[in-house]
Amino acid sequence: MNKKYIMTPGPTAISEDVLLEHARPLMHHRTPEFSEIFSAVTKKLKKLMKTENDLFILTSSGTGGMEAAITNAFSKGDKVLVANLGKFSDRFAKISKVFGLEVISLDYEWGNPINPEDIKEMLDKNPDIKGVMFQFCETSTGITNNAEAFGNIVKNYNAISIVDAISGIGASDLQADNWNLDIVIGGSQKALSAPTGAAFISVSDKAWKLIEKSNIPRFYFNLLDAREAASRKPPQTPWTPGISIIVAMNKALDMLFEEGLENAFRRHAILAKTTQKAVEKIGLELFVKDEDARSSSVTAVMVPEGVDGKKITSMMRTKYGVQIAGGQGKLKGKIFRIGHLGWFGIFDTIIAISALEMTLKDLGYGFDFGEGVAEAQKVFYENSYLE
Amino acid sequence: MNKKYIMTPGPTAISEDVLLEHARPLMHHRTPEFSEIFSAVTKKLKKLMKTENDLFILTSSGTGGMEAAITNAFSKGDKVLVANLGKFSDRFAKISKVFGLEVISLDYEWGNPINPEDIKEMLDKNPDIKGVMFQFCETSTGITNNAEAFGNIVKNYNAISIVDAISGIGASDLQADNWNLDIVIGGSQKALSAPTGAAFISVSDKAWKLIEKSNIPRFYFNLLDAREAASRKPPQTPWTPGISIIVAMNKALDMLFEEGLENAFRRHAILAKTTQKAVEKIGLELFVKDEDARSSSVTAVMVPEGVDGKKITSMMRTKYGVQIAGGQGKLKGKIFRIGHLGWFGIFDTIIAISALEMTLKDLGYGFDFGEGVAEAQKVFYENSYLE
């Protein structure tokens, strides 16, 4: 008997209630039954993003949503700025290059947040920049960027902001309209804790103007087709959607709104803090030094000297059944990442820290058993999100 | 109480067994547990396609698979031939044009199959054609094309064959290797009766040669990335896959192989014949006149004179709970289509015919009650696929 616990920064564990909805008998996508759910999910996702902009659900992983943003918003040769500080911002740069854009990559040492002033400076220097792309939460490093500052800078220029909020939205407050974020991308499988396979994307009026004159070839991800299909009565998708995923998202969103968005953000912040303090207590170092830049979705931890980083994640999974994530790209073996987002509560954190302690003991790292767990309990008790 | 029956040419009803698999707790996609299922599904899909070629699962609808075929296999300005005889072959032409290909559209009156000799003639006349695209089953008209003849013609030219087998595969025999089909596209939601949201695509050596030199920009659907990820140990996908869909497909494929592929093809053929004879018995005319070209997946029926075609499908759904499909594009209101594929047996056909009879009676079409149902029973009894 080895119970399994998923504690990665996505995909995240799915609640029984959402799984049961996921398993509902097929509704054909051209029926009033499904149309009602489809419209409701679209509306709820807009509420989650705090936006009145158009929003579309795509049947793809989050990367498909990123490609949709880039291929729709720009034209060949357009200059774009990518705030590059991790694996996923680098993906923005890669996709942009593939589709013929001129990419200015504003590179930061991984683990550091972007300084919004740098964005402003680049935009002043390059008034022909058409778009600025960044991650709300950069999953590979556990950084949260100041999307509010970014959006409010970019709005003053002849450029749009594109935000990959896939691992951030639902865990941290994002206000697409108040912060002037033109295109925001989310995914089903992160803080929503719904099954993998759906992305969603919001589009502002400023972005539509670019989309309408874009000359990059696109078909499956063409947002003009998505807009046309959504304008039908009842609203539709241009292609067959991931029906069971959308049905599951409907339930997941209901659960999130039942908790209350602000409560959910607070819960995630407390779980993040609890995790951070607990790993520090057992002598480990957090990867992100700037406390304000630490994400509520995922905590990146430095592998302690003398310990094989790859063994931490593999032993936690095989011996204790607890799946966390290792480092990606150049951080492989140097950090590990504990996800604490979605359908995740304090006792999940206790499990994560407890499994980490036992694994580190297995690997010969010296400290007193239970210190991390005790710290997690103490920090949580003082900041509890429970009533 | 109004029990619902889905009898469209896809998405198709999902069995309880597959739904329960679909609702299994999330397996992270980077775990041995999922890798095993992922490899097994890939292997089973190759068995279904009767191919040793590479095969990839994409997280998208079937249209994404069509885009993947076109954007990977060709380069800008390439000449391609589309055998155009319905809504979905027309989609091949549209996608090709969007991505800058020169399209020769070999147009047929909808409802007629393609004559393979015409393909040969076009290839002889245009030796620079790089690819020939056609539907195995054209869902919009209920036509099955002779994929064997096509493949064996195209193999002799400097061109590849691309087959949309989305609504055909699993219902009718398709032998990718024996018939020299270079790229074959399938979907999760048709004869497999698994949830919507996954496509799969096979690629021959001849096709890889084109793919390796293609210059059409692509990212999410880049098959070179899919091949690289699949070559890792254990095999992976470049982006997060539709995990719960693949898990459900695994069960659906097991059920299909338990029945036996040849038995499943025979079952579909008998259900098609039963449906055809029953609707003819009540005086309706089949849309496809050429008996050999009628698909095993879906039967297209002419709306009888004096009856409002749109009312047939809407009344069947709202009054009787039976969802069939109307005509698409220029066939709207002129035909209706009864799907009989996937998790579908003789008593589903009896329900379809019975609901159709009652609906036609409601709409004032004159005939004797039960004639169609009796004919369905008779034809089935003489050709039963049951032991």
Q: Fill in the amino acid letter for B350.
A: I
pLDDT at position B366 is 85
CA distance B210 to B207: 5
- Asked if B43 reaches chain A (Cβ–Cβ under 8 Å), the answer is no
User: Do A41 and A253 touch, CB atoms closer than 8 A?
Assistant: yes
- What would the two tokens of residue B220 be? 């999410």
pLDDT at position A224 is 98
B143-144/B137-138 β-pairing = antiparallel
**CB contact (8 A) between residue A19 and residue B20:** no
Q: Where in chain A is the domain with CATH 3.90.1150.10?
A: 5-10+260-383
- Asked if A386 reaches chain B (Cβ–Cβ under 8 Å), the answer is no
pLDDT band at B218 (very low <50, low <70, confident <90, very high): very high
Q: Where in chain A is the domain with CATH 3.40.640.10?
A: 17-257
Chain B neighbors of A219, CB-CB under 8 A? 63, 67, 94-95, 98-99
CA distance B309 to B359: 11
Flag whether pLDDT at B1 surpasses 90: no
Task: For residue A273, give the 3-state DSSP assignment.
Answer: helix
Tell me: the pLDDT tens digits for B293-342? 999 999 999 999 999 999 999 999 999 999 999 999 999 999 999 999 99
CA distance B25 to B37: 14
Q: How far is B121 from chain A (nearest CA, A)?
A: 30
pLDDT at position A166 is 98
A335-339/A325-326 β-pairing = antiparallel
- Asked if A326 reaches chain B (Cβ–Cβ under 8 Å), the answer is no
**CB contact (8 A) between residue B196 and residue A241:** yes
Flag whether pLDDT at B195 surpasses 90: yes
Nearest to A320 by CA among A352, A279, A274: A352
Q: Where in chain B is the domain with CATH 3.40.640.10?
A: 16-257
Nearest to B160 by CA among B135, B124, B129, B191: B129
This prediction's pTM = 0.97
CATH of B16-257, one of 3.40.640.10, 3.40.50.10490, 3.30.460.10, 3.60.70.12: 3.40.640.10
- Asked if B319 reaches chain A (Cβ–Cβ under 8 Å), the answer is no
Q: How far is A152 from chain B (nearest CA, A)?
A: 30
pLDDT at position B367 is 85
Q: What are phi and psi of A140, to 5 degrees?
A: -75, -20
A5-10+260-383 adopts what CATH topology?
Answer: Aspartate Aminotransferase, domain 1 (3.90.1150)
pLDDT at position B298 is 98
- Asked if A216 reaches chain B (Cβ–Cβ under 8 Å), the answer is yes
Q: Which of B13, B218, B219 sits opposite A26 (nearest CB)?
A: B13
- Asked if A65 reaches chain B (Cβ–Cβ under 8 Å), the answer is no
Flag whether pLDDT at B387 surpasses 90: no
- Asked if B26 reaches chain A (Cβ–Cβ under 8 Å), the answer is yes
The alpha carbon torsion through B215, B220, B225, B227 (nearest 10 deg) reads -110
pLDDT at position A57 is 98
pLDDT at position A367 is 85
pLDDT band at B242 (very low <50, low <70, confident <90, very high): very high
Residue A344: Cβ within 10 Å count? 22
pLDDT at position B2 is 84
Strand order in the sheet with A79-84: A54-59, A198-203, A183-187, A160-164, A129-135, A79-84, A102-107
User: Do B180 and B159 touch, CB atoms closer than 8 A?
Assistant: no
Task: For residue A291, give the 3-state DSSP assignment.
Answer: helix
A17-257 adopts what CATH topology?
Answer: Aspartate Aminotransferase; domain 2 (3.40.640)
* Interface ipTM: 0.96
Q: Fill in the amino acid letter for A335.
A: I
Tell me: the pLDDT tens digits for B64-107? 999 999 999 999 999 999 999 999 999 999 999 999 999 999 99
Tell me: the pLDDT tens digits for B347-382? 999 999 999 999 999 999 988 899 999 999 999 999
Chain B neighbors of A20, CB-CB under 8 A? 23
Q: What are phi and psi of A278, to 5 degrees?
A: -65, -45
CA distance A307 to A313: 12
pLDDT by position in tens, chain A (length 387) = 889 999 999 999 999 999 999 999 999 999 999 999 999 999 999 999 999 999 999 999 999 999 999 999 999 999 999 999 999 999 999 999 999 999 999 999 999 988 999 999 999 999 999 999 999 999 999 999 999 999 999 999 999 999 999 999 999 999 999 999 999 999 999 999 999 999 999 999 999 999 999 999 999 999 999 999 999 999 999 999 999 999 999 999 999 999 999 999 999 999 999 999 999 999 999 999 999 999 999 999 999 999 999 999 999 999 999 999 999 999 999 999 999 999 999 999 999 999 999 999 999 998 889 999 999 999 999 999 987
Q: How far is A216 from chain B (nearest CA, A)?
A: 9
